[in-house]
Amino acid sequence: MGRLLFFGGLKTNLLSDQRNFKNSLIGSRTLGFICVLITAVLFGSIYSLAKLPLSHIDPLLLSAIVYPIAFVTLIPVARGSFRLNCLNDFKYIIIISVLGAVAAPLLLFYGLEDVAASDGAILANAQILFTILLSSVFFGERPKGLWGYSAITIVVAGLFLASTELKLSSSILEYEPGKMLILGAMLCWALDNNFSRRLIKKSSVEPSKIAMLKFLIGGIVLSVLLVLSSPSLTALTNALLSIETSEWIVISILAIFGFAGALFFLLEGLKRIGTIKTMIALSFTPIIGIIIAMATRGESISPIEAIATAMIAIGIFIISRT
């Protein structure tokens, strides 16, 4: 009789632990989606915010200012810890820093010099597509079946429309260099997303520490590039002094929220819900970016861009269902 009571109690405890684990998992997934939606709002603001200082600040100078501010912002969140557990973690940090904290912002800011904020927001969909494609081919997460790959085709067609607007030159479709630079930035961030997901999955490094170290390394590299590319230290000093107070405020908001906050919440989302679900939730970014651009800058999108945005949204929705 005592043995039966013992096993009955053990079974009850196991069922209770299973329920608690399930509830914890559901809570973690919900928090993951919330984190990514916050990322979408913060990242969507970049395109309009960055256009203001880019009117007369060099993109390299802007990048070299933004990343140190983002690094300082995350020091309290990461509790100022710079220690990594192994050499492999350090290798991943270097890779994602070069891709996501050096190449991507430079390509984005140089692209936004010649591209409207609303256009840049539309092209942000490429990050979602590239991330899913890379994850499917190299990192083991992939859409399922014919519908999944058909959806990717629709998104590719939408990006093609958004980047060319079907403008014909004498022989081929006329590509706009600024848009190609932004697409390059999205590819770099897509690689960054997948490597970050792998680092988070295989290591105990917290997302806040990854983000902090990424901004530190990116800030150092960008600062070195800025000094090397400047005609003289006097010219660099004058360029910094020429930045007005109102522009410093915009740059600080861009760094703290558009980069530091957005990356922190993105990594938390990747940790909790994986690459594919994170990119699906992040698909709100272009919509938010377009709304902000239209509200703050009075920009509008062409009929072809509206069709392209709809195609991309439909494709991403189909991916989410598969």
Q: Which amino acid, one-letter code, is at 24?
A: S
pLDDT category, 123, cuts 50, 70, 90?
confident
* Residues above pLDDT 70, as percent of the chain: 78
Joined together, the tokens standing for residue 40 give 């979408």
Lookup result for tokens 């590039």: 225
How many Å apart are CA 155 and CA 313, to the nearest integer?
8
Q: Which residues of 238-276 are buried (b: 16+ CB within 10 A; e: fewer)?
A: eeeeebeeebeebbeebbbbbbbbbbbbbbbbbbbbbbb
Q: What radius of gyration do the chain's Cα atoms show?
A: 22
Give the total residue count for the chain: 322
Q: Which of 20-29, 110-119, 145-154, 180-189 has the lowest mean pLDDT?
A: 20-29
Compare 32 and 170 and report the one with higher pLDDT.
32
Domain locations in the chain as residue ranges? 29-321
Cβ atoms of residues 191 and 175 within 8 Å: no
- Who's near 174: CB < 8 A, 6+ residues apart? 164, 167, 168
pLDDT classification of 309: cutoffs 50, 70, 90: confident
Q: Say what the pLDDT of residue 167 is.
A: 59
Best mean pLDDT range from 135-144, 172-181, 187-196: 187-196
Report pLDDT for 67. Answer: 92
Asked if the model's pLDDT at residue 313 lies above 50, the reply is yes
State the pLDDT at residue 5: 45
- Phi/psi at 114 (5° precision): -115, 0
Tally the C-alpha atoms within 13 A of residue 267's C-alpha that lie toward its C-beta.
Answer: 24
**CA–CA distance from 185 to each of 133, 189, 242, 263, 272 (Å)?**
16, 6, 28, 15, 25
Instruction: Kindly tell me if the per-residue pLDDT of 87 is higher than 50.
Output: yes
Q: How far is the C-alpha of 65 from the C-alpha of 239, rounded, in Å? A: 12
CA distances to 153, 164, 167, 169 from 172, rounded to whole Å, are: 21, 11, 9, 6
End-to-end CA distance of the chain: 51
Closest by CA position to 270, among listed 192, 185, 196, 189: 196
Reported as a single tens digit per residue, the pLDDT across 151-166 is: 777 777 776 776 566 6
What's the mean pLDDT in 21-46?
72
Q: How many CB atoms are closer than 10 A to CB 151?
A: 22
pLDDT in tens, 192-218: 988 988 888 888 788 888 889 999 999
Highest mean pLDDT among 128-142, 215-229, 295-309: 215-229
Residue 168 clears pLDDT 50, i.e. is over it: no
Average pLDDT over residues 215-242: 91
Q: pTM for the full model?
A: 0.72
Give the pair of three-digit tokens for residue 76.
């309290």
What contacts 260, CB < 8 A, 6 or more positions away? 69, 70, 71, 73, 74, 211, 215
Q: Find where tokens 């990717």 sit.
A: 152
Average pLDDT over residues 83-97: 86
Mean pLDDT of the chain: 78
Rounded average pLDDT over 187-195: 91
- What angle do the packed helices 104-112 and 207-229 form, to 10 degrees? 60
* φ, ψ at 209 (rounded to 5°): -70, -40
